[in-house]
Structure 1
Amino acid sequence: MSRKWMKYLSLPVMASMLLAGCSSNNGNNTASNDQTSDSKNATTNNATATNATDGKPASWIADRKIKGLVFMGTDDYTEDMNPEIKAEIKKKTGIDFEIEIMKSADSLEGMIAGLAANDLPDFIAFYLNNSGRPEMPVALKAAREGMFTDLAPFFKDTKVYSKYLQDDYLPADTKYGVMFRPEFNGATYFTHMNIQREGGQVTWRGVGGPYIRKDIADKLGVDPRTITTTAQLEELAKKIKAGNFTDNNGAAVTPIGPAYWGGHEVGALFNDLEWGASDQRIKQDKDGKILHEAQTPIAMKKVEFVQRMLKEKLLQPEFFTMDESRATEGAINGSWAIIADMHSYQDFNQDMHYIPLGPINKVDAPYKMQIDYKSGYSAWAVPATTKKPEEVVKFADWLASREGKLLWKYGIEGRDYTLDANGNPLVKKEVIDLKAKDPNEAKKLGFAGVGNNWGDILGSTDNANKADFGEENYGDNSNSGLFPAVEKIATYYGLDQKIKDGEVVDAYVPNSFLGEFENGTDLKTAFDNYNDALVQAYYSKNLDDAQKILNSALKQMESAGLDGYLKLLADKNADPKTKVKL
């Protein structure tokens, strides 16, 4: 193991990162865009042609193995690939494709250990929603030490990834914060993924946030859409408690349970008590001053609210700490009258026995949907030790083409789908039936439509499902009925109007600049300590103790340079290239 990386493992910031862990998208990474396009022409343009000179298809790259090491969880990805799918890849490109998922209790910890071992395959992949993710300083350190290949020269000769070189294609954070950072002088050592082809579009039809059991709402005569403040939420929770409702097993329900995916603070539930995004806690006040939550009265107002909800048994006692399996079990059993966070694509609720609640207003204004101009999710890099790195880029480009996406999204033509008159895929009924009856068996077919997501690691970008395949969601063209509740919930929630009234934003999250702040390491540790301190304050004996806990956390942040960082954010926000979400 490199001594430099051993030292890095011991840094305080890494200790805090390892404690914080790494969250997944929980199946909610489905951004795509509606764009007018002639799909039949797209099929013709992307179809595999034959090179008459050597009998190989035009999509041929090289007769070689490409192996990737993935620092992401097995709930999002699998290294098990279907043999027939692998054979198709080999036939079309010459590539023997293989991925390995780093086995680790924490994906960030695995990434650090994998880089420290300095024995990397042809590419690596890791979580990276934005440049404020904890993976970013780890990836940056590796790039600065020369561990990765500059990919920019290879993008020039590609069909899809060459778009990354266009001035107006990438969102600001992806362009300047992740990939083409000024310090690299035009080089790029990571490729940010899941970029939409067109900006400012919302084509994922899911509705996320708090949900309430419909039978309970009906019994109480409450329209959940009218619950727009935490004060109203508290009154509703009291009515639920007094109603003596029971779950599927006959046990008393808990008025408000944790998120479907486990305990943590849910910003959508406490929105009018959140100072900025719940994973950032930095916001501009009405006078234009940028403040951390701990510097405002909001922090103690939230603590007071949570303590009262816990004391009155309106909030599940382990709301902030419960493991995913127990939280999910409670949701499926109907044990939580209100689930703090879930979404409308989840299988267990396709009968709509839970319906959306809210949305809760912001701390200083009515709710308004914020729409990212474009957003990213995950990234990949090519180690400097990789032979012929241009072939890895060419393979990624093929996976990102319509031909490649058709394989990793829909499977094999004839086996898994047929084509309609416009060249768009029609999912076969037997595949739809198998997915509904036995999802695990369907997954073995080996493509994203049935839950095997190997292809999006290198291929999910320039996304425009409607333009490329004639449907936003897998199976729509076949009227598959896989998610019958989605459009009904979208209509109930008023999703289209919320999108119409929404605000399109192309900006950085506040934590994005910690990597260039002089005391960024110490301040990141202090930010993480504040998050932990907030939970301690929720469970403290009284408000006086809670205040002392938060005061101590604030003092640590101030000692680590909080005021200087907030000034940096003000300077960044004044620059059109580095606008901040405040």
Structure 2
Amino acid sequence: MIKAWSTKAVILIAMAVISGCFYILFLHDDTRRTQPREGELPAAGERTLKVMFSETDNQKVRENSPIQQEIAKRTGFKLMYAAVPVSNYNDKKKTLLTTQNVPDIMQIDKQDVNEFSSTGAFLPLMDYMNKGLMPNFKKLWDQNPDLVRLTVDGQLYGFPAIARDEAKNGFGPVIRMDLLQKHGLPVPRSFDELLGTLARLKELYPDSVPWSVRKGTSQLLAASSYMLGSGYNAGNGIYFDKDKGQYVYGPASREFKNVLSFLNKAYTSGLLDPDYAILTQQQWTEKLTGGESFFFIDNSGFGLNFTRALRQKHLEAFFQVMPIPEYAEGKSRARFYMNTFSGKMFAISSKVQDPESIVKLMDWMYSEEAFRLMNFGIEGLHYTLDGSDRPVYKKEFVETFIHSQPTPYYALYSELGCCQLSFTPYYSNTMSQFQIERMTGTWDELNEQYWNIVASDPAYEPLAMEPPLTSREAARVRDINTLLNDRLDKEFDKFIMGLKPLQEYDQVIRQARELGAGELEDIYNKASARLQR
């Protein structure tokens, strides 16, 4: 009897202990759900998430990269990347959003939020942040009041890609300075002088196509129109004009007619590439690095990479960004990229199971631990910490990429699966790039000059983020943009190529106004005024 009773006692005690443990674990897990500590990892078992984002030619996405593997170890989430070439990304994204077939996590932008948030495609995030479930992101949110501009009706539908310690950069005019020096040509001070300079280079090199463009008409207009006195954003022609102090629908303005006039002169003079409307990024790169083209207006930092490629055959050749030329007497202007918010957002599908755990995962990606991992790799293997606890790549690791293409830093980023062009909500770009360039010996006087020119040119001004809209405004913006894009997108090339006389663009402006361009301006300007109250 004593032995039997002892056995029962042992069983009861064991059951009580096990129940107590489960109860404690339950309480602990509940505490984590409601009050996560700073830097705490999300509670998750083995789970696979599909993440879709755009892929560039410069930084190819490597599946199962070291960073992906480490994220799985630390969080229990295996990330499967669906990388779509950037040239096809918008079409693929729109198809999935329209058919309500959204992957678990998807790269979007503010225009997608305006157009599709009302469909219920994206998981709303504000309740999670208000409950204290996003402490890492909340710190950055509080530090950057402009992030409220990403909301619709006060609701946030995606985690914005946020930069850290970013140097100023933007669209700029880049030219073969060695050719100007060789032929005694001054750096153009105005866009009219620029056409004259390009015409002279065309005379000297008859087989050349002086001005090359990537990704077609939309990219050409987005890169150049603000410098030429108007403005344009792909898919949405609205932009903030600092000189006017208001939002303007660029293609429905008189100033945009001047943009088309300038591009028409460049095209009909044989200066602008005859294939500008269909050139891919690879073709663009080949023309500029092969010596066929001498000038571009785009992300001016490409000029540094093109110079390295050029110098493999022409040791004295180099591209350099120009001070922004005047578009009218005494007037020049350009825009820095937003050096905190890249324009990308990562939305969680509203159909995911256990959304809270994915929200926690995304919030963890804004922690210091995740920032170091997702931009510098694994501590001790890929980087160390300096005296200020800042991550620094290990020189012996970086040096393995010295001869890699297209550049050492892009090759390293691709190998690790890191930084701005990967799935990295809290990213490093120039901070890590500068380290790699200095370690590989690709940082030189040309780099110093480039970054100083951009930083010191008073023509540059910050790019303004769009104001937050209400759901009704967002729906109306979507409808108007659909009408305007259908009408205008097919018109631009006709005027650039001279298929239509420029005076007929006045009719296009009138039609754009009739289709709602003025209403679009009113919506944005009222939303902006509302934000200032």
Which category describes the TM-score, using the shorter chain as reference length?
A: 0.7 to 0.9
In the alignment, residue 355 of structure 1 is paired with which amino acid?
Answer: Q
1:126 aligns with 2:94: no
SS at match of 2:106: strand
Which position in structure 1 is the counterpart of 2:21? none
The aligned residue for residue 17 of structure 2 is none
- Shift of the 478–382 alpha-carbon distance from structure 1 to 2, 3 Å rule, reads same
1:262-411 correspondence to structure 2 within 5 Å = 264-266=219-221, 269=224, 271=226, 273-277=228-232, 279=234, 280=237, 292-293=249-250, 296-344=253-301, 346-350=304-308, 353-362=318-327, 366-368=331-333, 370=335, 372=338, 374-411=340-377
Contact residue 252 and residue 513 of structure 2 kept, 8 A: no
**Alpha-carbon distance in 2 for matches of 1:458, 1:567:** 36
How far did 1:333 drift? 0.3
Q: CA deviation at 1:235?
A: 1.4
Partner of residue 454 from structure 2, selected from 473, 476, 495:
495
Structure 1 counterpart of 2:324, which letter?
Answer: P
Q: How does 1:459-470 map to 2 (within 5 A)?
A: 459-461=424-426
2:328 and 2:475 map into 1 onto residues whose CA distance is 28
Match of 1:547 in 2: 503
* 2:466 is the counterpart of 1:508: yes
Q: Matched residues in 2 for 1:477 and 1:284: separation?
A: 36
Which of 126, 129, 153 is 1:152 aligned to? 126
The 1-side partners of 2:157 and 2:468 are apart by: 23
Q: Does 1:219 align with 2:179?
A: no
Relative to structure 1, the CA distance from residue 258 to residue 477 in structure 2 (aligned partners, 3 Å threshold; closer, same or farther) is: closer
Identify which range, 381-390 or 68-77, moves more after superposition: 68-77
User: Which deviations, in whole Å up to 9, do the C-alpha atoms of 1:477-500 show, x marking residues without a partner?
Assistant: 973434446632336x5333236x
| 1:170 matched residue in structure 2 | 145
Matched residue, 2:483:
525
Partner of 1:236: 197
Q: Which AA in structure 2 matches 1:217?
A: L
Structure 2: where are the runs of 5+ without partners?
Answer: 1-38, 312-316
CA distance in 2, matches of 1:111, 1:519: 19
Instruction: Look up the SS of the partner of 2:493 in the other structure.
Output: helix
1:70 aligns with 2:36: no
CA contact (8 A) 1:427 1:475 kept: yes
Asked if the contact 1:64/1:96 (under 8 Å) is kept, the reply is yes
Q: How far did 1:236 drift?
A: 0.9
Higher helix share: 2
Q: Does 1:436 align with 2:399?
A: no
Alignment of 1:89-104 (within 5 A): 89-101=71-83
Mapping of 1:32-71 within 5 angstroms? 59=41, 61-71=43-53
Q: Which amino acid aligns with 1:235?
A: G
* Equivalent AA in structure 1 for residue 455 of structure 2: D
* Preserved contact between residue 211 and residue 272 of structure 2 (Cα < 8 Å): yes
Shift of the alpha carbon at 1:209? 2.0
Please tell me the root mean square deviation across aligned C-alpha atoms, in Å. 4.1
- Does the Cα contact within 8 Å between 2:227 and 2:333 map onto a contact in 1? no
Q: Where does residue 106 of structure 1 map in the other structure? A: 88
Q: CA deviation at 1:310?
A: 2.7
Aligned to 1:253: 208
Deviates more, 1:303-312 or 1:378-387: 303-312
Q: Which whole-Å CA distance do the structure 2 matches of 1:382 and 1:282 have between them?
A: 28
Match of 1:46 in 2: none
- Mapped contact 2:161–2:343 kept (Cα < 8 A): yes
- Partner of 1:564 in structure 2? 519
**CA distance in structure 1 between the partners assigned to 2:407 and 2:204 by the alignment:** 42
> Aligned letter for 2:47?
K
- Call closer, same or farther: CA 1:392–1:457 in 2, change over 3 Å: farther
Q: Does 1:194 align with 2:154?
A: no
Task: List gaps (5 residues or longer) in structure 1.
Answer: 1-56, 197-201, 246-251
What CA distance in whole angstroms lies between the structure 1 residues aligned with 2:244 and 2:40?
60
Q: How many angstroms does 1:305 deviate by?
A: 3.3
% identical aligned pairs:
15
1:486-521 per-residue CA deviation (whole Å, 9 max, x = no partner) reads: 632336x5333236x855565427999995364741
Q: Give the TM-score taking structure 1 as reference length.
A: 0.70
2: distance between equivalents of 1:170 and 1:335?
46
1:230–1:270 CA contact under 8 A, matched in 2: no
Q: How many residues align?
A: 481
Offset of residue 88 of structure 1: 2.6
Q: CA deviation at 1:140?
A: 1.6
Q: What are the superposed Cα offsets for residues 89-133 of structure 1, whole Å, 9 maximum, x if unpaired?
A: 233223333222368973233223334554555x322231xx3x3
Output the CA distance in 2 between the equivalents of 1:542 and 1:504.
Answer: 35
Task: Tell me if the contact between 1:125 and 1:381 (Cα under 8 Å) persists in the aligned partners.
Answer: yes
* Matching residue's letter, 1:307: N
Corresponding residue SS for 2:220: coil
CA distance change for structure 1 residues 65 and 153 in 2, over 3 Å: closer, same or farther?
same
Structure whose CA Rg is larger: 2
Secondary structure in 1 matching 2:343: coil
CA contact (8 A) 2:163 2:339 kept: no
Q: 1:488 to 1:91 in 2, by over 3 A?
A: same
**What's the CA shift for 1:336?**
0.8
Deviation at 1:401, TM superposition (A): 1.6
